[in-house]
């Protein structure tokens, strides 16, 4: 299913189901859950359906979960297509990874029934719903049967209704980084007098890194480098700059292709190699950038098409280890790069870096913060009012970005 269909189902059918479940929960479940000691908690479920990059930003939350419930097994529920990162980071044991298949409506319904049966059989003691205002995640939290449900609440805001059955609520705060808000969900599970609304956070400052890392087998990175040099000899004697030019499922997040062309031209003219990365469906954009670069500078052959070259997130991270710089739009690659030593430039505009900026000392954020920015938020389910004329990114000129990149590469 495409994202617009999912939004419509979640909005109309989701609200009706949330209202029904809320009415049922008033009689079937007390407003305040019974007290639990950390030793009582055996199974914790974390629901994080939407984006893979958020899994990296949730690193502090998972660390706090393990400190707070050292004897509990952590389970993770995601969309099937988004499981690569949590598997790579070993967030949970393989048997504790649960997936929903959203490739079609029938597959989604079938996988919901399968997952629900598996979760109720455990049974789950605690659920942390990391989605912002999605109804399906709230419903999944309830049907898991867990007595404690932590999730975000819109409080009195209209149009974001997702029921009243979440009994460890945290007010969503668009002014605090999402990593801190995820930790606040863990805090809300503790039976203190001020709950169900958490009045403070265990993470009172943003850490320098996510606390997550990926380890590679001995010789694995070297073998990947030999493969890369065998396929693209131009990389051998030059510093490699990786560029992710696609906006993915949200094209308004993309820096203009013409700006990328100017940036790549300057990098190639300075003697560096540039690799255009992305999924196989991004190949047309990469080839167009290649043609535009090659038509204007003699060194256009230094710009290589790497879209679809890496077959997994693990291989993408190995590619990051071969590069000196990544230039990317807001999205997964920038967050994945924070798991490596790679220096990263990241463009924000439709979304705000104050909320979703990478937790990494190696990242430089470009964000003009124009009057209408950010336009993607939890309040509009990331359906922007922008008409495609994303001035927040168009006004980030390629010249200063190129100057900064060349300075970084020469440092």
Does 192 map to a domain? no
What is the pLDDT of the chain when averaged over all its residues? 87
Pick from 2-16, 169-183, 306-320 the range whose average pLDDT is largest.
Answer: 306-320
Does 203 map to a domain? no
Q: Is 55 exposed, middle or buried (0-12, 13-18, 19+ CB in 10 A)?
A: buried
Handedness of CA 7, 11, 16, 18 (dihedral sign): positive
Closest CA to 202 of 322, 66, 325, 382: 66
pLDDT at 379 over 50: yes
Does 136 map to a domain? yes
What is the arithmetic mean of pLDDT over 152-170?
84
Residues 101-160 have pLDDT tens digits of: 988 889 999 999 999 999 999 999 999 999 988 899 999 999 999 999 999 988 777 778
The last residue of a domain, from among 187, 202, 237 = 187
Does 246 map to a domain? yes
Q: What is the pLDDT of residue 386?
A: 77
Q: What is the pLDDT of residue 286?
A: 94
Residues 232-269 have pLDDT tens digits of: 999 998 999 999 999 877 888 899 999 999 999 999 99
pLDDT at 208 over 90: no
The C-alpha atoms of residue 28 and residue 371 are separated, in whole angstroms, by 47
pLDDT at 398 over 90: yes
pLDDT at 401 over 50: yes
Q: What is the pLDDT of residue 31?
A: 57
- CATH number for position 361: 3.40.50.2000
Lowest mean pLDDT, pick from 14-23, 253-262, 294-303, 319-328 = 294-303
Identify whether residues 176 and 251 lie together within a single domain.
no
Provide the domain limits for residue 35.
Answer: 3-187
Identify whether residues 395 and 269 lie together within a single domain.
yes
pLDDT at 51 over 80: no
Q: What is the pLDDT of residue 38?
A: 77
Identify whether residues 307 and 179 lie together within a single domain.
no
Does 205 map to a domain? no
Identify whether residues 247 and 387 lie together within a single domain.
yes
Identify whether residues 12 and 76 lie together within a single domain.
yes
Identify whether residues 183 and 225 lie together within a single domain.
no
Q: What are the tokens at 276?
A: 């255009």
Identify whether residues 142 and 81 lie together within a single domain.
yes
Contact 157, 136 (CB under 8 A): no
The C-alpha atoms of residue 145 and residue 185 are separated, in whole angstroms, by 18
pLDDT at 192 over 70: no
Band of residue 376 on the pLDDT scale cut at 50, 70, 90: confident
What 3-state class would DSSP assign to 170?
strand
Q: What is the pLDDT of residue 46?
A: 96
What is the arithmetic mean of pLDDT over 32-54?
83
Q: What is the pLDDT of residue 199?
A: 56
Q: How far is CA 113 from the centre of its chain?
A: 26
Q: What is the pLDDT of residue 230?
A: 94
Q: What is the pLDDT of residue 202?
A: 63
- DSSP conformation class of 282: G
Residues 310-367 have pLDDT tens digits of: 999 999 999 999 999 999 999 889 999 999 999 999 999 988 888 888 888 899 999 9
Lowest mean pLDDT, pick from 164-178, 179-193, 201-215, 223-237 = 201-215
Q: What is the pLDDT of residue 121?
A: 94
The C-alpha atoms of residue 228 and residue 283 are separated, in whole angstroms, by 18
Q: What is the pLDDT of residue 299?
A: 54
Identify whether residues 262 and 314 lie together within a single domain.
yes
What is the arithmetic mean of pLDDT over 49-74?
89
Identify whether residues 167 and 231 lie together within a single domain.
no
- SS3 annotation, 182-235: HHHHHHCCCCCCCCCCCCCCCCCCCCCCCCCCCCCCCCHHHHHHHHHHHHCHHH
Identify whether residues 156 and 287 lie together within a single domain.
no
Does 50 map to a domain? yes
From residue 251, give the alpha-carbon distance in Å to each of 79, 286, 310, 386, 404.
21, 15, 22, 11, 25
Contact 182, 206 (CB under 8 A): no
Does 193 map to a domain? no
Does 207 map to a domain? no
The C-alpha atoms of residue 277 and residue 208 are separated, in whole angstroms, by 26
Q: What is the pLDDT of residue 195?
A: 46
Identify whether residues 36 and 88 lie together within a single domain.
yes
Closest CA to 136 of 4, 9, 250, 1: 9
Contact 66, 30 (CB under 8 A): no
Q: What is the pLDDT of residue 196?
A: 45
Identify whether residues 58 and 182 lie together within a single domain.
yes
pLDDT at 206 over 80: no
Contact 13, 134 (CB under 8 A): no
Domain count, the chain: 2
End-to-end CA distance of the chain: 46
pLDDT at 180 over 80: yes
């Amino acid at each position: 299913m495409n994202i617009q269909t999912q939004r419509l189902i979640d909005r109309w059918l989701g609200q009706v189901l949330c209202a029904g479940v809320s009415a049922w929960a008033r009689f079937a479940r007390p407003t305040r859950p019974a007290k639990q000691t950390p030793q009582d908690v055996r199974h914790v479920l974390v629901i994080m359906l939407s984006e893979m990059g958020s899994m990296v930003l949730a690193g502090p939350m998972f660390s706090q979960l393990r400190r707070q419930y050292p004897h509990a097994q952590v389970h993770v529920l995601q969309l099937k297509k988004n499981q690569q990162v949590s598997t790579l980071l070993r967030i949970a044991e393989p048997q504790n990874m649960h997936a929903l298949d959203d490739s079609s409506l029938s597959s989604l319904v079938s996988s919901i029934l399968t997952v629900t049966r598996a979760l109720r059989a455990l049974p789950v003691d605690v659920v942390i719903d990391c989605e912002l205002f999605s109804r399906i995640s709230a419903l999944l939290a309830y049907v898991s049967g867990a007595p404690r449900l932590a999730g975000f609440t819109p409080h009195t805001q209209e149009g974001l209704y997702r029921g009243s059955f979440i009994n460890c609520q945290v007010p969503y705060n668009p002014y605090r980084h999402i990593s801190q808000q995820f930790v606040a969900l863990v805090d809300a599970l503790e039976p203190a007098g001020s709950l169900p609304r958490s009045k403070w956070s265990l993470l009172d400052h943003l850490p320098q890194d996510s606390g997550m890392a990926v380890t590679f087998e001995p010789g694995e990175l070297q073998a990947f480098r030999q493969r890369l040099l065998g396929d693209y000899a131009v990389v051998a004697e030059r510093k490699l700059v990786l560029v992710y030019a696609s906006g993915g499922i949200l094209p308004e997040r993309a820096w203009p292709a013409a700006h990328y062309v100017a940036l790549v031209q300057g990098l190639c003219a300075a003697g560096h190699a540039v690799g255009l990365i992305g999924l196989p469906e991004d190949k047309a954009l990469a080839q167009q950038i290649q043609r535009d670069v090659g038509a204007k500078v003699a060194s256009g052959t230094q710009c290589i098409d790497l879209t679809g070259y890496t077959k997994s997130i693990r291989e993408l991270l190995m590619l990051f280890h071969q590069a000196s710089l990544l230039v990317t739009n807001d999205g997964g690659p920038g967050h994945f790069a924070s798991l490596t030593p790679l220096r990263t430039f990241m463009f924000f505009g439709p979304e705000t870096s104050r909320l979703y900026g990478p937790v990494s000392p190696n990242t430089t954020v470009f964000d003009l913060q124009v009057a209408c920015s950010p336009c993607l938020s939890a309040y509009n389910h990331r359906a922007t009012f922008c008409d495609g004329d994303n001035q927040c990114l168009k006004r980030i000129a390629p010249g200063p970005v190129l100057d900064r990149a060349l300075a970084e590469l020469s440092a």
